[in-house]
Structure formats: C-alpha cells, structure tokens
Amino acid sequence: MPQPIENAIPDVVILRLPLYVRALAQLHDSDTEVVSSHALGEKLQITPAQIRKDLSYFGRFGKQGRGYNVLYLLSELKSIMGLNQEWRAALIGMGRLGRAIISYPGFVREGFHIVAVFDADPALVGTEIDGVPVRNMAQLDRIISEQRIHIGIVAVPEEHAQAVVDQLVKCEVKGILNYAPISPQVPDGVWIRNIDPVLSLQTLTFHLKG
C-alpha cells in the first residue's frame, strides 16, 4: 500500500478516520466480514462517494461490487492512525474535569494511558488519583522525559491554559488535547485538538432557535 503524503490529506478527512475505525470495530464485533461503502455510509450518515474518496488518500482497500473486508480495513486504518501501539499521556489539572478524565475507562481500552498527572495546588501534590501520584508542575520536564510521554491533556482554567501548553511544547510534547475554553497557540510541528462542549451546544441552538 502506498504511503500517503500527510500534508496533502485534508484535516477533515483525518477527523473522519476515527469514525470509520469505530464503525468497523462494531461490525467486526458483530461478526460482519464484508461491508459495502453504502452500508458503511448508512451507519455513519456519510455518503458512499465520500467514504471512497476519503479512503483513496491512503490506498486501495476494496473491490468494486464486493465491498471492504472489515478486519483488513480496520487493521489498515489502525496502522495508519498509529492505533496499533500504546500512547502515554500526561494530564495537567486535577479539578473536577481532570478527575473525570482520568476516571474515564475508554482511554485505556483504546490504547491511551494516562501515566502522569500534574497540578499547581500544593494540597493535591503528593496525593494519588486512581493510583497515579499527583506531581508538582516543576517536575513536568523530567517526568515527561522519563515516562516517554507523547501526549499532553490540558484540563486547567482558561487563564492558565496557554502557559501550560507552552510548558508542554518546551518539553517537546507534540500532541495536545485541550479542554480549556480557549484556542491556545502552538508552533508548527505541534498538533492540538480543542474540546469545548459549550461550542458544540451553541451549534445546536442555531438549528433549534425559534
């Protein structure tokens, strides 16, 4: 299978890949061996043409009239996304949101392991949350290096988010998941995803307004 040129792949396509992986995993769990782009599209509310176009960025996976082998396509997409390896993460911020994040079982199930947590509150430093010790932010650089951490998860108040992101960048963390309600700035070569439930709710009110 030819290797894709990452910069040539639209971000919106990359954002849809996890949807394909989840749907294919569900099909595999239900013992479905082959799926057509039409059936996959119905499951995801995506047109068959869009699915075929998205997958074409990464190679040829199916045969016309026969559909896709579910297990093969699932394995290939997991490899393309790097989901066939363990990803180690650091969580910064142990307020209510941080505690909810570290308690969520779905991360481990999908290969994401929160191996270090940090907070600036002296009352929290030295305690354990779900078996993981809470460390002082001054230890961030050392722990990220020692634990070989790839991803930073930011769950701090808005006014501290950019500073925390800047610290992660200095520690050479290249992937950041940000829950603070701002869009922090990062340099080229660092990838950040912002999670803001309020923005999602506001897109719903556009459709629901009277």
Q: What is the pLDDT of residues 95-152, one digit of tens each?
A: 999 999 999 999 998 999 999 999 999 999 999 988 899 999 999 999 999 999 999 9
Distance CA 16, CA 72 (A): 18
Distance CA 42, CA 68 (A): 15
Residue 5, pLDDT above cutoff 80: no
pLDDT for 1 equals 47
Q: Is the CATH code 1.10.10.10 the one for domain 6-81? A: yes
Architecture of domain 87-196: 3-Layer(aba) Sandwich (3.40)
pLDDT for 55 equals 94
HEC secondary structure over the chain: CCCCCHHHCCHHHHHHHHHHHHHHHHHHHCCCCEECHHHHHHHHCCCHHHHHHHHHCCCCCEECCCEEEHHHHHHHHHHHHCCCCCEEEEEECCCHHHHHHHHCCHHHHCCEEEEEEEECCCCCCCCEECCEEEEEHHHHHHHHHHHCCCEEEECCCHHHHHHHHHHHHHCCCCEEEECCCCCCCCCCCCEEEECCHHHHHHHHHHHHCC
Average per-residue pLDDT in the chain? Answer: 92
Domain ranges of the chain: 6-81, 87-196
Q: What pairs with residue 23 in β-bridges?
A: none
Distance CA 94, CA 81 (A): 29
Residue 63, pLDDT above cutoff 90: no
